[in-house]
Amino acid sequence: MEGQLSCKHLLGNLSDYVDGELAQEFCAEIERHLAECENCQVVVNTLRKTVEIVHLTSEEIMLPEAIHHRLFACLQIPEPKRADPSE
Amino acid sequence: MSEDKAPIQKFSLDRLRAGDRVEFARFVEETSPAIYRLALRILNDPQDAEDALQETYLKAMRAIASFEGRSSLTTWLYRIAVNEALMMVRKQRPQIRVEDEPEDEEGEAGQGMQIVDWCCLPERELVSDEARRFINMAIADLPENLRTTFVLRDVEGLSIKETAEALEISEMNVKTRLLRARLKMRESLSSYYAERMQEGLA
């Protein structure tokens, strides 16, 4: 179809698309393309999943108690009592 | 900590500027988990991340008196932290520094992409200990300019605008770098998970 969105055009806007930052009409255009292009579907899904997994695994990174303690010692500031020590 | 990113400003700037150590301690207490996570994601080494963390706050402590408030306090702190982490990267492996990506708009996007749908892999495979180590390495292998953008946006959850302020680049530039970083991460994870799928079939 003439004027149809190309895979390359979709790729260029992929980040904004998965972040939900595109205008509604453009999203609809992308979705029409996705309905017919299996490769782009895979790229969109795996990109979304990539961001999700990185976010998920990053949330679990805690500041170890020992590093917290040494930080306050190095700055010579009073160390507040921690309500929920994380290890 | 349960928040996605360092909490928004809730400190007395006047007290911080005046060198109030109790207020500074509150500031460190609130923001240090996020700054440590940022440093660890950029450096992928707990000792280096600790050094970057300490240097960040030492620098912030010295500079807070002249903080002008043009960006939020948190964004200002992130800017210091990114710079400290990058200095550490250069000390860490000066000889094998991953080159920055060129900033031109026309990327190589779309060339030789992996088309494997690994989203259906079970959760235990997606976030296994081995997968986590692979993810840590994949982030650390991103070129510096992509890595800092990716970590601020997708690890710390900063907005495009906040990321642009923290890196002192345009929002357009953040978007370009973010897309490239995400595509590279997708490629890396696709290779990794495609192998896991093959193993599963074998």
Given a cut of 60, whether residue A77 has pLDDT beyond it is yes
pLDDT at B91: 87
pLDDT at B70: 85
pLDDT in tens, A28-72: 999 999 999 999 999 999 999 999 999 999 999 999 999 999 999
Nearest CA in chain B to A41: B117
pLDDT at A80: 84
Can you say whether the dihedral through the CA atoms of A53, A58, A59, A62 is positive or negative?
positive
Q: Which domains does chain B have, with CATH numbers?
A: 13-96 (1.10.1740.10), 123-201 (1.10.10.10)
Cβ atoms within 10 A of the Cβ of B25, count? 17
- Partner residue opposite B28 with nearest CB, options A16, A67, A77: A77
Task: Please list, in sequence order, all residues whose beta carbon lies within 8 angstroms of the beta carbon of residue B36, skipping any fewer than 6 positions away.
Answer: A61, A63, A67, B49, B50, B53
Determine, for residues B33 and A63 on separate chains, whether the beta-carbon distance falls below 8 Å. Answer: yes
Domain boundaries, chain A: 7-75
Q: Is residue B189 a contact partner of residue A53, using CB atoms and an 8 Å limit?
A: yes
- Partner residue opposite A8 with nearest CB, options B57, B110, B157: B110
* pTM of structure: 0.90
Cβ atoms within 10 A of the Cβ of A40, count? 20
Residue spans of chain B under pLDDT 70: 1-9, 94-99, 101-111, 202
pLDDT in tens, B161-192: 999 999 999 999 999 999 999 999 999 999 99
pLDDT at A1: 43
pLDDT at A81: 75
- Partner residue opposite A50 with nearest CB, options B54, B127, B185: B185
Task: Please list, in sequence order, all residues whose beta carbon lies within 8 angstroms of the beta carbon of residue B83, skipping any fewer than 6 positions away.
Answer: none
Given a cut of 60, whether residue A84 has pLDDT beyond it is no
Spatial distance between the Cα atoms of A71 and A84, rounded to a whole number of angstroms: 17
Determine, for residues A15 and B178 on separate chains, whether the beta-carbon distance falls below 8 Å. Answer: yes
DSSP code of B66? Answer: G
Nearest CA in chain A to B175: A15
pLDDT at A3: 52
Task: Please list, in sequence order, all residues whose beta carbon lies within 8 angstroms of the beta carbon of residue B22, skipping any fewer than 6 positions away.
Answer: A77, A78
Q: Is residue B158 a contact partner of residue A55, using CB atoms and an 8 Å limit?
A: no
Q: How many CB pairs (< 8 A) connect A and B?
A: 119
What is the interface pTM, i.e. ipTM, of the complex? 0.90
Q: For residue B119, which of A34, A44, A38 has the smallest C-alpha distance?
A: A44
Residues of chain A whose beta carbon is less than 8 angstroms from a beta carbon of chain B are 7-8, 11-12, 14-16, 21, 39, 42-43, 45-47, 49-51, 53-59, 61-64, 67-68, 70-72, 74-80, 82, 86
